[in-house]
Chains A and B, each alone.
Chain A
Amino acid sequence: MSLTRQDVEKIAHLARLLISDQEMPVYVTSLSSIVEFVDQLAKADTGGVAPMAHPLAGQTQRLRADEVTAADSREKYQANAAAVQGGLYLVPRVIE
Chain B
Amino acid sequence: MLHNRSIGELAAILDRREASSVELTRHFLARIEALNPALNAMISVTGAQALLEAAVADRRRGAGETGPLLGIPLIHKDIFCTDGVRTSCGSRMLDNFVAPYDATVVARLKAAGAVMLGKANMDEFAMGSSNETSFYGPVRNPWDLARVPGGSSGGSAAAVAARLAPFATATDTGGSIRQPAALTGVTGVKPTYGRVSRYGMIAFASSLDQAGIIARSAADAATVLQAMAGFDPRDSTSVDTPVPDYGSALGAPLKGLRIGLLKEFSDGLEPRNAALIAAALEVFRSLGAATLEASLPSLPLSVPTYYVVAPAECSSNLSRFDGVRFGYRCENPRDLLDLYKRSRGEGFGAEVKRRIMTGTYVLSAGYFDAYYLQAQKARQLITDEFRAAFGRVDLLLGPTTPTPAFAIGAKIDDPVTMYLNDIYTIGANLAGLPALSMPGGFIDELPMGVQLIGPHFAEGRLLNAAHQYQLATDWHDRVARGYC
Contact = CB atoms under 8 A, between A and B. Distances in A.
Given A15-B360, A17-B341, A80 B375 contact: no
B174 interface: no
Contact of A35 (B322, B361, B374, B456): B361
Contact-size category for B: 35 or more
Interface string A74-89: 0011111111000001
Interface string B425-436: 000001110000
A93 B117 CA distance: 43
Contacts of B325: 77-78, 80-81, 89
A77 B419 contact: no
A68 interface: no
Contacts, number: 168
Interface in A26-42: 26-27, 30-31, 33-35, 37-42
Contacts of A51: 373, 376-377, 379-380
Contact of A30 (B340, B362, B415): B415
Interface stretch (B164-172, B216-224, B327-335): B327-335
B207 A80 contact: no
Q: Is the interface of B mostly helix, strand, loop or mixed?
A: helix
A11 B361 contact: yes
Contacts of B341: 16-18
Contact of A50 (B333, B334, B377): B377
Contacts of A20: 345
B236 interface: yes
A46 B353 contact: no
Contacts of A26: 350
Interface stretch (B10-18, B257-265, B270-278, B303-311): B303-311
* Pairs A-B, 6 closest by C-beta atoms: A55-B432, A18-B345, A51-B376, A46-B377, A80-B326, A18-B341
Given A15-B315, A34-B307, A53-B207, 19 more contacts: A14-B364, A18-B344, A27-B354, A34-B358, A38-B304, A38-B362, A40-B304, A41-B308, A44-B378, A46-B378, A51-B373, A56-B456, A80-B97, A80-B98, A81-B324, A91-B336, A92-B335, A93-B335, A94-B336
